[in-house]
């Protein structure tokens, strides 16, 4: 495909409620969208980096800068660009997987629209809909936490994930388990603990959790392997899994028995599929993590989550979980599931009025 034009668009989307985790409290999403024209067809990509470098070193302004100054000149210099070539072309740019993923996503969307093929079909989806879980931020008061969880269960979500940190872990989990009984329940620490917390984290074993997600710092693979010998609850890695090779190594070392796949974190949906395949070959189940995406990123995530080894409900929540107004037609929960889009490419496109309402800047690159 001939890449004719790239637009870098920034939008500012308010959240329906503040979302608190160990990485900080979010009140809105500052989102970078990559909009390409290739062979006369549009394609959209979404960068999942947050506004501040708290979840990872990547952040929205930095992603915008590295795409504009370093990635686009490499891509626009090519006569033809296909999605499968993007990561290779961008090899001179070290790191920045979320920025690269956004560019790859936009080009893949355009490519698939030209071919009349959906994301789900391209990636290898085997289900028409995916089971949905929801991520619940840290609450200062247990009664508020219980009220929030009760609401999501009433909405039909099939799995509850609680964010935890020291001071908001065992007793919060206990309260939810006692209040709601035999629900699918897991916790996410976002690297908030250290190896010395092993015995404390083992106290979570009594609650029959699906998993403990990323309890230790992302670079501490050995620590996770040691923790897995102390804690009976399965260890799931998130931030540590940056590629298919990283997944292969972590599994071999016994650092995890479940993997969270986020396409932005591993550098794109093509690499996300490779992570899925590596885990499937080793009988390690996976699930799709979320980064508070707009409907563009949500469409791609739902397609990814329909691959066969995604056997646990992901963070593929309905649009209304985060946004009163999305930039595409909202994804609505139906019996605890979201339908996999079947139209060409992402199967969704931005609503022009909503896009203009939330846009704060547009930069055109040729």
Q: How far is CA 287 from CA 18, 103, 106, 259, in A?
A: 25, 23, 23, 7
DSSP class of residue 331 equals P
- Give the separation between CA 87 and CA 253, rounded to whole angstroms: 27
Nearest alpha-carbon partner for 266 in 284, 250, 255, 283 = 250
Residue identified by tokens 């985790």 is 21
Contact 113, 350 (CB under 8 A): no
Locate 195 and state its tokens: 């190896």
Alpha carbon 260 to its chain's center: 9
Q: Which pair of tokens denotes residue 175?
A: 């309260």
Out of 100, 158, 161, 262, the active site residue is 262
For the chain, strand residue ranges (E) read 3-21, 24-38, 41-47, 129-131, 133-136, 159-163, 185-188, 212-213, 235-237, 258-261, 286-288, 337-339, 359-365
In whole angstroms, what separates CA 279 from the centre of its chain?
17
Residue 140 carries which DSSP code? Answer: S
Rounded to 5°, angle at Cα 355 from 121 and 57: 75
Q: Are the CB atoms for 221 and 252 separated by under 8 Å?
A: no
Handedness of CA 26, 27, 32, 35 (dihedral sign): positive
Residue of 276, 272, 228, 205 whose CA lies nearest to 215: 228
Cβ proximity of 77 and 16 under 8 Å: no
* Whether 158 is catalytic: no
In angstroms, the Cα distances linking 220 to 56, 197, 203, 214, 292 are 15, 14, 21, 10, 26
Give me the torsion for CA of 112, 320, 355, 271, rounded to 10°: -30
Annotated active-site residue in 100, 161, 163, 245: 163
Active site residue 100: no
As a whole number of angstroms, the distance between CA 69 and CA 79 comes to 19
Q: Which residues does the annotation mark as catalytic?
A: 163, 262
């Amino acid at each position: 495909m001939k890449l004719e034009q790239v637009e870098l668009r920034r939008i500012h989307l308010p959240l329906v409620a503040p979302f608190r985790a160990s990485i900080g409290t979010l009140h809105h999403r500052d989102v970078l969208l990559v909009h390409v024209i290739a062979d006369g067809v549009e394609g959209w990509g979404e960068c999942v980096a947050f506004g501040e470098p708290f979840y990872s070193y990547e952040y929205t302004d930095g992603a915008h800068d590295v795409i504009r100054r370093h990635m686009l000149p490499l891509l626009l210099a090519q006569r033809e660009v296909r999605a499968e070539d993007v990561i290779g072309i961008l090899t001179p740019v070290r790191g920045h997987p979320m920025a690269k993923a956004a560019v790859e996503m936009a080009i893949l969307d355009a490519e698939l629209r030209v071919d009349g093929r959906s994301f789900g079909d391209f990636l290898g989806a085997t289900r028409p809909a995916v089971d949905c879980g929801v991520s619940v931020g840290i609450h200062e008061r247990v009664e508020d936490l219980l009220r929030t969880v009760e609401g999501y269960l009433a909405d039909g979500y099939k799995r509850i994930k609680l964010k935890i940190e020291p001071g908001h872990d065992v007793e919060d989990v206990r309260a939810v388990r006692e209040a709601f009984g035999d629900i699918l329940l897991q916790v996410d620490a976002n690297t908030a603990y250290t190896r010395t917390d092993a015995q404390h984290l083992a106290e979570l074993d009594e609650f029959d959790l699906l998993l403990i997600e990323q309890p230790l710092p992302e670079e501490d693979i050995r620590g996770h392997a040691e923790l897995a010998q102390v804690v009976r609850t399965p260890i799931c890695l998130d931030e540590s899994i940056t590629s298919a090779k990283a997944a292969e190594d972590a599994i071999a070392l016994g650092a995890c028995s479940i993997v969270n796949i986020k396409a932005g974190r591993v550098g794109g949906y093509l690499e996300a599929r490779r992570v899925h395949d590596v885990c499937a070959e080793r009988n390690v189940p996976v699930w799709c993590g979320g980064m508070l995406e707009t409907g563009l990123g949500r469409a791609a995530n739902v397609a990814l989550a329909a691959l066969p080894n995604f056997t646990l409900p992901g963070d593929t929540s309905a649009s209304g979980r985060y946004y009163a107004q999305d930039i595409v037609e909202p994804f609505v929960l139906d019996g605890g599931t979201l339908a996999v889009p079947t139209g060409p490419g992402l199967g969704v496109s931005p609503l022009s009025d909503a896009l203009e309402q939330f846009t704060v800047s547009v930069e055109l690159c040729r």
